């Protein structure tokens, strides 16, 4: 089962991708995770990527497509995968069509005001990378990671001014993908209108949609 997860930054793509990965035992491929690892390792690619991400811009298609091509050709993807954060442009979608056949697209629809509240409240552990949210998933001790005791921080791309720019870029470049995929493959749209909606509820709706398509039993 080869799936695409679409949605604006902060819509919950990462959370749902992680949950579906566990349910269906297929790898989750996040361009964000790949990029952050490159940045952490201070590779030449990572330095280029950091400049784009810090300013709220998208990483150029040529770079992203090559990263994805290499990843989905790995042995663990032979039985399927979930793409989180790719494709983001029509050019990327067309390139992906030439690489692999996608079975369905999952679209997370979340209002902008909820996304701004959710993302600006996100905190990440500097040591282990654990993710918290000051609205719905607070650490036991303020600004301290429950798992390793490391300090929590706010990512540059989670600051409100950058979120606004990311959302603007999403609307301009990524929303047209919905129309593109609606003409080609099944699209499962799940709407969330609450800041503190339980992720399990969203997952249940996604799984129900996949069952209707006979992609899972």
40-77 pLDDT, tens per residue?
A: 888 888 888 888 888 888 788 888 888 888 889 889 99
Rounded Cα distance, 92 and 46, in Å: 20
Annotation marks residue 123 as catalytic: no
How large is the average pLDDT for residues 171-199?
89
Catalytic annotation, pick one of 2, 71, 88, 118: 88
Domain assignments of the chain as residue spans, ordered by start? 2-111+173-212
Interacting residues of 48 by C-beta distance below 8 A, sequence separation 6+: 59, 63
CATH of domain 2-111+173-212: 3.40.50.300
Mark whether 122 is an active-site residue: yes
pLDDT at site 27: 95
Residues 6+ apart with CB under 8 A from 215: 1, 103, 104
- DSSP single-letter state for residue 99: H
Distance CA 87, CA 177 (A): 8
The whole-angstrom separation of Cα 204 and Cα 81 is: 19
Dist. CA 63–CA 30, nearest whole Å: 14
Selected catalytic residue, list 21, 48, 117, 155: 155
What confidence score (pLDDT) does residue 23 get? Answer: 94
The reply to whether 21 belongs to the active site is no
For residue 155, indicate whether it is catalytic.
yes
In this structure, what token pair is assigned to residue 6?
A: 């679409």
What percent of the chain has a predicted confidence (pLDDT) above 70? 100
Whether residue 190 is predicted with pLDDT greater than 90 in this model: the reply is yes
pLDDT reported for residue 80 = 94
Q: Per-residue pLDDT tens for 98-154? A: 999 999 999 999 888 888 888 889 999 999 989 898 887 899 999 999 999 999 999
Alpha carbon distance 192, 111 (integer Å): 8
The string of pLDDT tens digits covering residues 24-48 is 999 999 888 888 888 888 888 888 8
pLDDT tens for residues 149-167? 999 999 888 888 888 888 8
Indicate if 50 belongs to the active site. Answer: no
Does pLDDT of 9 surpass 90? no
Residue 184 clears pLDDT 90, i.e. is over it: yes
DSSP string for 113-167: HHHHHHHHTEEEETTT--EEETTTB--SBTTB-TTT-PBEE--GGGSHHHHHHHH
**What's the confidence (pLDDT) of residue 204?**
95
B/e letters for 158-183, b = 16+ CB within 10 Å, e = fewer, are beeebbeebbebbeeebeebeebbee
């Amino acid at each position: 089962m080869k799936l695409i997860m679409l949605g604006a930054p902060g819509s919950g793509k990462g959370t749902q991708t992680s949950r579906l990965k566990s349910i269906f035992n297929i790898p989750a491929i996040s361009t964000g995770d790949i990029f952050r690892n490159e940045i952490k390792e201070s590779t030449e690619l990572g330095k280029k990527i950091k400049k784009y991400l810090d300013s709220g811009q998208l990483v150029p298609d040529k770079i992203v497509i090559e990263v994805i091509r290499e990843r989905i050709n790995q042995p663990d993807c032979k039985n399927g995968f979930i793409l989180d954060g790719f494709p983001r442009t029509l050019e990327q979608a067309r390139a992906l069509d030439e690489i692999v056949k996608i079975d369905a697209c999952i679209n997370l629809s979340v209002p902008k005001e909820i996304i701004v509240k959710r993302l600006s409240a996100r905190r990440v552990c500097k040591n282990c990378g654990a993710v918290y949210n000051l609205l719905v998933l607070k650490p036991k001790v303020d600004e301290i990671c429950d798992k390793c005791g490391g300090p929590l921080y706010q990512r540059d791309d989670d600051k409100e001014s950058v979120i606004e720019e990311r959302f603007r870029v999403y609307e301009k470049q990524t929303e047209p993908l919905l129309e593109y995929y609606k003409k080609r493959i099944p699209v499962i749209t799940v709407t969330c209108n609450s800041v503190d909606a339980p992720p399990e509820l969203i997952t249940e709706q996604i799984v129900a949609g996949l069952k209707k398509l006979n992609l899972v039993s």
